[in-house]
């Protein structure tokens, strides 16, 4: 059985997609079979893995979810792209937004992604789900099927302030839809070590949440290299293998494996 990990935060711009990609590639570098699912209509994960025009991809997660919803038969490899860094990708584009709207009010619509993953997970050791920056139907689908959730949080006031709403949603999903769901940990991202402000935010996270929720030891530093890697469509391990961000994601990967 594969381990299903969702990366979720309703706040955008917290390096969620970057973390999903680099964790996925990091696991693949350790010999694991990895599927990354882009569960965001913006297609950020898809573009950052080198598919710069997601809207031109014919078969995406939207296609697959519609087929599952309509109980259609399909080839299990439909839509899966094989990336040259050793991971597979189920891409997404703007069509996924239409699917999310269509799911509202449909009975058991929160289990569509779970139904799909149950069909393909035997091929993989890890399934990494990059969630939308909201708490809508798509994120609900991810939390309903995940074993664990990693919460990327930027070392800044507003992302930390919004954590409480996400934690309440995770708690509700655990009680009503997915009793196995656990919080793997809070991942502190985009840390600017030159400022006292970042230090203060980290202290707040540890004091408020540290006793009840694991906080990953490895933090992801602020670096233009990470943005450059996404623009080039490669992981940080290819773009800047000896840099501090690559070292941080390698450390995160080892924590997840441990």
CATH number at residue 84: 3.40.50.300
The answer to whether 43 touches 184, Cβ cutoff 8 Å, is: no
CB contact set of 16 (below 8 Å; sequence gap of 6+)? 7, 8, 9, 130, 131, 133, 152
Helix 163-176, helix 137-145: angle, nearest 10: 60
Q: Which residue has the higher pLDDT, 156 or 68?
A: 68
Split into its structural domains, the chain has a count of 1
Question: What's the pLDDT tens digit per position in 37-75?
Answer: 999 999 999 999 999 888 899 999 999 999 999 999 999
Domain range enclosing 230: 3-257
pTM, rounded to two decimals: 0.94
Residue 142, pLDDT score: 97
Residue 181, pLDDT score: 96
For strands 81-82 and 87-90, give the pairing: antiparallel
Residue 108, pLDDT score: 81
* Confidence band of 160 (pLDDT split at 50, 70, 90): low
HSE value, Cβ hemisphere, 13 Å, CA-based, for 124: 28
**In the predicted structure, residue 158 carries a pLDDT above the cut 80:** no
């Amino acid at each position: 059985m594969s381990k299903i990990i969702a990366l979720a935060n309703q706040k955008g711009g917290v390096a969620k997609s970057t973390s999903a990609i680099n964790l996925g590639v990091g696991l693949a570098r350790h010999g694991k079979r990895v599927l990354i699912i882009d569960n965001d209509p913006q297609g950020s994960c898809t573009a950052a893995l080198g598919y710069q025009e997601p809207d031109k991809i014919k078969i995406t997660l939207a296609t697959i979810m519609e087929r599952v919803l309509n109980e259609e038969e399909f080839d299990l490899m439909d839509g899966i792209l094989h990336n040259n860094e050793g991971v597979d990708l189920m891409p997404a584009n703007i069509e996924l937004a239409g699917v999310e709207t269509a799911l509202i009010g449909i009975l058991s619509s929160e289990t569509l992604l779970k139904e799909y993953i149950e069909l393909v997970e035997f091929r993989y050791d890890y399934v990494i789900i990059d969630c939308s920056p909201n708490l809508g139907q798509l994120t609900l689908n991810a939390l309903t099927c995940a074993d664990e959730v990693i919460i990327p949080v930027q070392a800044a006031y507003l992302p930390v302030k919004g954590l409480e709403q996400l934690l309440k949603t995770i708690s509700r999903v655990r009680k009503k839809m997915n009793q196995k769901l656990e919080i793997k940990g809070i991942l502190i991202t985009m840390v600017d070590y030159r400022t006292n402000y970042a230090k203060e935010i980290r202290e707040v996270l540890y004091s408020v949440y540290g006793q009840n929720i694991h906080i990953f030891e490895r933090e992801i530093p602020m670096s233009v290299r990470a943005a450059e890697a996404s623009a080039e469509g490669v992981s940080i391990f290819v773009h800047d293998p000896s840099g501090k961000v690559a070292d941080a994601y390698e450390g995160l990967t080892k924590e997840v494996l441990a």
